[in-house]
Chain A
Amino acid sequence: MIYGIPITHFLIVSTLMFFIGIYGFLTRRNLITMLMSIELILNSVNINFVVFNRYLYPDQLQGHFFALFIIAIAAAEASVAIALIINIYRRYTSIEVDNVNELKH
């Protein structure tokens, strides 16, 4: 127990955040809101890395850097995904996944 907060409380918060993201990913039918659910999932994983780093290996910075790189990859992923979404919108004038069901060029 460090700072008066047990590590399990941090992990439970990040677990609940992860599964809220999963729930959103399964129930939403819109590409942008699905992307937002993915951001929630990535963010909860980040919390896990940082908390393990602080509580279990405070003399190193591995989890810190892993979280840093995940944030960078999330930014790259979001930019490419939004470019794709805008392109899909031009072609179908809708970004509901039910309307976008062909891969033909």
Chain B
Amino acid sequence: MGANVFMFYLFSATILFFALLAVTSRRILRAAVFLLFALVATSGLYFLLQYQFLAGVQLALYAGGIVVLIIFSILLTHHISHKFERPPVMKLFSGLLVAAIGAAVTVFSIADYPFKASAALPIDTDMRVIGLQLMGTGKNGYALPFEVISILLLAAMIGAIVIAKKKN
């Protein structure tokens, strides 16, 4: 068993373990920290697949940005020692049933489908290639979605400020 195979199973186990804790923990701040661990392990998977830039973005934006935002909002709206009461058993059971059935169907269809690995030569994913494609307007160019997403981010930023502003 090679080192990368071992790392893959380590990261996968970390992701699943902490994701499960994040949705079941009854202390909300702990749930946020467990979510952070799951997201960091995901960036480990990206490193394993040799998408270094995406892994860096995952660390900086998800782990650094979104989780910090969530923790801030928890501190604004809860006591740190706040503990949820246990949800009703019926609701837990139905949620578990839906998730289990969905997961079973999806896993069976994945295991059934014959994926054919491509024999094409992998493209270099260094910063130069990514930058040229992100700003390109021809084939394999992503200039339009890039501009649209920058407008979306601006709109979301203004919207968030306007919504959260105190009315006087």
Contacts and interface: CB of A to CB of B under 8 A. Distances in A.
B5 A33 contact: no
A43 B62 contact: yes
Contact-residue size bin, chain A (C-beta under 8 Å from the other chain): 35 or more
A103 interface: no
Contact of B12 (A2, A13, A43, A87): A13
B69 interface: yes
Given A4-B4, A15-B106, A89-B77, A51 B99 contact: no
A86 B145 contact: no
A9 B110 CA distance: 10
Nearest to A82: B73
Contacts of A43: 38-39, 42, 62
Nearest to B24: A24
A28 B38 CA distance: 18
Contacts of A17: 15-16, 19, 38
Interface of B: 2, 4-5, 8, 12, 15-16, 19-20, 22-24, 28, 31-32, 35, 38-39, 42, 45-46, 48-51, 54, 57-58, 61-62, 65-66, 69-70, 72-74, 76-77, 84, 87, 91-92, 94-96, 98-100, 102-103, 106-107, 110-111, 115-118, 120-123, 125, 129-130, 133-134, 140, 142, 145, 149, 152-153, 155-157, 159-161, 163-164, 166
A10 B107 CA distance: 11
A50 B51 contact: yes
Interface in A8-48: 8-13, 15-24, 26-30, 32-33, 35-37, 39-40, 43, 46-47
A73 interface: yes
Given A19-B102, A36-B35, 19 more contacts: A3-B5, A11-B110, A20-B99, A23-B99, A26-B94, A33-B28, A39-B62, A47-B42, A50-B45, A55-B117, A55-B118, A59-B123, A60-B140, A61-B123, A65-B134, A69-B145, A75-B153, A76-B157, A87-B163
